[in-house]
Structure 1
């Protein structure tokens, strides 16, 4: 099934949904309409219980060259209340595991989207950059903190202070991406990884995501432990391991 909304395309194949950024002629720069549409698409996909993992990628061999700056006065006035920040925060809070599959340019707003995903797999030709210091802009605080948590304060400052592009190998060394593949091997690796994730316990993954992202206090962690006990997920997982068979996990994230 393929559904197009503005310049974002959603493709679903079994339990994996793929959101494709497409803006021909602008290296997939995100327009205001695209920023507004991303949370809508995420809401729709989260409501589909068949979807167990999400992939964010770009069309035509480019991930995303950033935000279409458009009305600079509007951008400056919005600050951290911008539609771009709202879209990134919604992506980061998605209750499905998210993976950015990155080719070509992953710059500015594109890099922010990639960092808002749980995992990042890059082709060897990918290039990454965070350009606000070249443009005289202030990088949004949520994106700055998320970047620093991912790569560490020093590497984040290097990216932000220099606004230089870094290649995929350097991105791998500093922890900006998790794996680097030859361009012709990226799709197969993304398919294999998402298939593995889709077959794991959704309860385990959802709990791990909340805890790692520091969105689960003690009461919420205790709630997750109760769900693991009461849902039967743990018993099924242990039984499957003992019986040397694939587990059948049935827990689904609660609506909302």
Structure 2
């Protein structure tokens, strides 16, 4: 039976849930397809301001790919390329998402699950969460295109530690190595992710998207040109900028329109 990826909305926040009961939310091919579709649609929704990605239940965010599928989905080079092309499309959709994204991690966040979390802007996890990529015990290597996000997030030393040892990290060690943003008590992780989303939604949405773009651009070694520097002041022409200044001077909370 195939797993599912579902989406629910509450006000300006969308929650995307990975669900594969009985397999710790292991991600099958259909789920990778659906994840790409859902996130792509959410990114263009002007009514939304934040996306939370989580696993169903409290046992796992996602315990990797669905290994049973590998016997027929990745048994030749051509089929493996097609399979990982779809994985890449889902991960790229998360990376390209216009909206801020939060990975709400409970339990196991392994393999493909860690790849998904790494593409999110923030990763908030419970204290008993576990992280790793123990594929050295399965005899296959990580697809290079999927390794890129982990390298950006935690650097080569941590990535090599994960891949060469196949060790599973606890939440505190994952935090120290830069794999997660914040660790809270297990009972508080859902509330903390929701509170984080509310703080994001309270800010100017155009500014959030701009900050995402600039953080990624500044990781590129190419120096900024004058046109780019001028473009960084595009906010001067927005309604949100005028509203933000007016609200500050009038000592009230701003109401941003995303324009």
TM-score, with structure 1 as normaliser: 0.89
Deviation at 1:221, TM superposition (A): 5.5
Report what 1:34 is aligned to. 31
State the alpha-carbon separation in 1 of the partners of residues 255 and 125 from structure 2: 31
Which of residues 213, 221, 240 in structure 1 aligns to 2:247? 240
State the alpha-carbon separation in 2 of the partners of residues 115 and 174 from structure 1: 13
Secondary structure, aligned partner of 1:35: helix
Asked if structure 1 preserves the Cα contact closer than 8 Å seen for 2:15 and 2:53, the reply is yes
Secondary structure, aligned partner of 1:51: coil
The equivalences for 1:25-174 within 5 A come to 25-61=22-58, 62-69=60-67, 70-72=69-71, 74-75=73-74, 77=77, 78-79=80-81, 81-174=84-177
State the alpha-carbon separation in 1 of the partners of residues 81 and 174 from structure 2: 27
Secondary structure, aligned partner of 2:16: strand
Report what 2:207 is aligned to. 204
Give CA deviations for 1:126-163 in whole Å, capped at 9, x if unaligned: 00011232222221223322212211221121112111
Asked if structure 1 preserves the Cα contact closer than 8 Å seen for 2:123 and 2:182, the reply is yes
Q: Which moved more, 1:105-114 or 1:85-94?
A: 85-94
Asked if structure 2 preserves the Cα contact closer than 8 Å seen for 1:79 and 1:140, the reply is no
Gaps of 5+ in 2: none
Deviation at 1:45, TM superposition (A): 1.8
Deviation at 1:189, TM superposition (A): 0.8
State the alpha-carbon separation in 2 of the partners of residues 236 and 220 from structure 1: 25
State the alpha-carbon separation in 1 of the partners of residues 229 and 107 from structure 2: 39
Deviation at 1:72, TM superposition (A): 4.1
Q: Which moved more, 1:155-164 or 1:114-123?
A: 155-164
Deviation at 1:235, TM superposition (A): 2.6
Over aligned residues, Cα RMSD in angstroms?
A: 2.1
State the alpha-carbon separation in 1 of the partners of residues 21 and 31 from structure 2: 13
Report what 2:231 is aligned to. 223
TM-score, with structure 2 as normaliser: 0.88
Report what 1:21 is aligned to. 18
Deviation at 1:243, TM superposition (A): 1.9
Report what 2:8 is aligned to. 11
Give CA deviations for 1:13-65 in whole Å, capped at 9, x if unaligned: 11111001110011100111000011111122223222110000011211100
Secondary structure, aligned partner of 2:63: coil
Deviation at 1:199, TM superposition (A): 1.2
Deviation at 1:202, TM superposition (A): 1.1
Asked if structure 2 preserves the Cα contact closer than 8 Å seen for 1:22 and 1:58, the reply is yes
Asked if structure 2 preserves the Cα contact closer than 8 Å seen for 1:6 and 1:37, the reply is no
Asked if structure 1 preserves the Cα contact closer than 8 Å seen for 2:19 and 2:55, the reply is yes
Deviation at 1:6, TM superposition (A): 6.2
Gaps of 5+ in 1: none
State the alpha-carbon separation in 2 of the partners of residues 68 and 139 from structure 1: 15
